[in-house]
Every structure is written in C-alpha cells, then in structure tokens.
Amino acid sequence: MYFVLASSLRMNFLQLALEESFFSIGISRPNPAVGAVVVKNDLVVGRGRTQRPGGPHAEVMALRDAGELARGAALFVTLEPCCHYGRTPPCTKAIIEAGISEVYYAHADPNPQVRGKSHGILEAAGIKVYEGKDACLRAHAESGWSDSCSAEGCMTLAPDESENEGSVVFAEIERFFEAYDYFVRNKRTFVEVKVAVSENGFMGMLDNRGVPVPLRITGQGATCWNHELRAMSDAILVGAGTLLADNSSLDVRYAHGNSPVKILWAGHHEFTESEISGLKFFLKMGKCDAAATLVFTCVEQPAIKDEIISLNGETFEECWMQMLEELSCRGMHRLMVEPGAHLSAKLFNDSATQGEKASPLWNRLDLWKSTDPSVERSLIREGHEGLPFPGLPDSAVAKESAMIGPDVLTVYYPG
C-alpha cells in the first residue's frame, strides 16, 4: 500500500508525482487526480497536481512551477497527458510549447479520446516518451533525492534495486487508478470494502446488555494502511451500528492528502438528538467539514442537520444502488466502506443470493485478519460476546496477500 512507499521509496520521480496526486483527490473530480513533477539534472524544478474542473491539469501546474527551467527537462506524470480540447487545452500542447525533452507517464488513460494518442503526438514533436512499467523503471534519480533529503540519506540505487523500486511504484500507481478506470468504463463508483477480523473471526463485540462496544483488532501498521486507503478515497462510509459502537470521526491522521467525504448509511435507524450530540461524525470543525458529510437513510431523520438523501428502494440492494448512482453523479471514483457485521452480511450475502447475472455490490475487499491472541483474550476477560464476520460469497476470489506486523491482509475481488 501507499504508506510503504512513502517511507521506503525515495529515489523515484514517479513516486513523487504519485504523492502530489493524493492532494488532488476530492478537488479534481470528476476528473482523475493526477500528479506531475518536472526534473532537470536530477533536480525537481516543478511540481503540480490537477485542479478543480476547468482549472489546469497537473502537467500545466508543474510546467508553470518550473518556468524556463522546463526547457530541456523531463516531465514525470502519473497519468497519460490529455491530447484533446475540453474545458482546458490539451496538456500535450503545453508540454511541447514548454520545450520538454522527455515524458514519463505511468498509467494509460482509459478515456478513448486520449488512450495511446498522446504518445504519438509527443513523439512527432521530437519528445522521447516512456510509458507504463518502463517509465517507472526509468524514473529513478541517478544521483539521489537531490531536492529534499539529507546527504546521508541520498544514495544512488544499484540496478537491481532501482528495478525493484520502479516495479513497486508501477504497481502502486496502477492500484491508485483502479477506481478511475472502473468509473470511466462503467460510469459507476468503485466500492472498496475494508474489514478486520480477529484470529477466530470476530469483527466486533457486544457487552452484557447486548450493546455494541469498540473492539480494536489490528495493530498500528494496518491502521496506517487503512488511513492511506481513506486518503485515496473520495468518500468513506460506515453503517449506523458501527458509528454508534466505535464513535469514529473517520478522519485521516496517519496520511497526507485528501480528507474523504464522510457518509453515514443510516438505513432504518432514526438517530436521536442525544445520539447525534455524542458522535464525532457530526462535529463541524469548519466550513469545509460542514459540506463533507452525507446521510443516506430509509426513514425520516428530523434530528440530523447534515445533507440527507432519502432512499426508497424495496430491498437493500435497490437502496445501495440508488446511493451509488448518487455518488457516481457527483463524480466520486472510489467509495471506501468500513462495515460492521450487519452491513457486511448485507453487502456480501445479498449479492450472493441475487442470481448468477446480478452484479456484486462491491468491487474489492481488503480483509485483515489478526494473529494476535490478545484480542480474543480481551473478549473473554470482559465477558463480552463476539460478533462473527458473516463470511464471503462463494464467488469471491483471493488475488493478493501481505502481512504487516501481526496482521494478514488478503485482497478479494468478485469472481
């Protein structure tokens, strides 16, 4: 995940461009969040990220930042530069006019107006172009992180090290644009679900009165990973039960960049004024926060003053699709969902019982499983009842696996 890169990859200019792109999430939509840097003689002389729709793209911002130093320099950008007139002129035009000599872009734009065309336009203008994994492998600094790090930390990578670093950067950028690719092709928000379960499969607990209480399952490494995922998401959603049990603010404390829109799936729970007064979700720290919360509900919510969107579907699946249609219209590429046991059952079991032709209600599941036995001991010590994870649909296919500290991450996609 991205936080690993931030701490370990210090010699790749496309990694730096990726870091820039995180600050564009939530600003550029429905356009993709893109980052770019201009490099001359191994020095970063310009940085940029895509602005609000109608504003400059990342390449133009970086070229402006570089000024005359852009002439004869190299441009590193996370996404293929645009080559058509829209709300702004083509980035390829700006690149050519700035006198850039080399362009490195990591990800091909799925937009048919752009894909593959920019390469030819730039090469016809005499600019060397590198794309995809090849661009990431070539994007390492020959003489160190010249513009920012201390002399002690600046070392040239050996060939095998730079290749490994470049491969990881490429994988991270591909992962970053996964939701954008899906949005372009399907006109729908990509749903990424994050779930954490204990060694014996519990994802929450109830006290002696049957009231949900917080249960910390994963360690700090997984928590940092989770906050990086929040930062790369347009919005983050929790259900009513999870919000009442955990009282999470859904903020991003361990990552730089975007603060996602906070979404409450209220369902059929009518929140009282007393509940609202004690929940961090509803706290307003400023004007930006006041516009950054949405509540989707199937019942009236007279006590809630935030933006409320009523759902009128007869089934959970219909209501869920209504919500995704609304988020898609708002140009949101990635929705991160942190469900409790009840919402997990709805997401996975409902989609598994709708028939072979039904579309799943999720696109990616990041399932964390703790190997720390102390989590289970806390359940026994407090006399609490564990809430089991309801399980995956049979069609879920495991694609990736990794371990951070005592926690194992398995990534699933619908089969």
CB 74 within 8 A of CB 38: yes
CA distance 197 to 41: 49
The structure tokens listed for 102 are 């080399």
Is 59 one of the catalytic residues? yes
One-character DSSP codes across 102-125: EEEEEE----TTTTTHHHHHHHHT
Q: Is 298 exposed, middle or buried (0-12, 13-18, 19+ CB in 10 A)?
A: middle
Strand partners, 367: 195, 410
CA distance 83 to 71: 20
CA distance 368 to 214: 17
CB 218 within 8 A of CB 409: no
- 211 Cβ neighbours under 8 A, 6+ residues apart: none
Active-site choice (19, 20, 59, 338):
59
Q: How far apart are the first and last CA of the chain?
A: 23
Find, among 243, 232, 236, the residue nearest to 266 by Cα. Answer: 243
Catalytic positions: 59
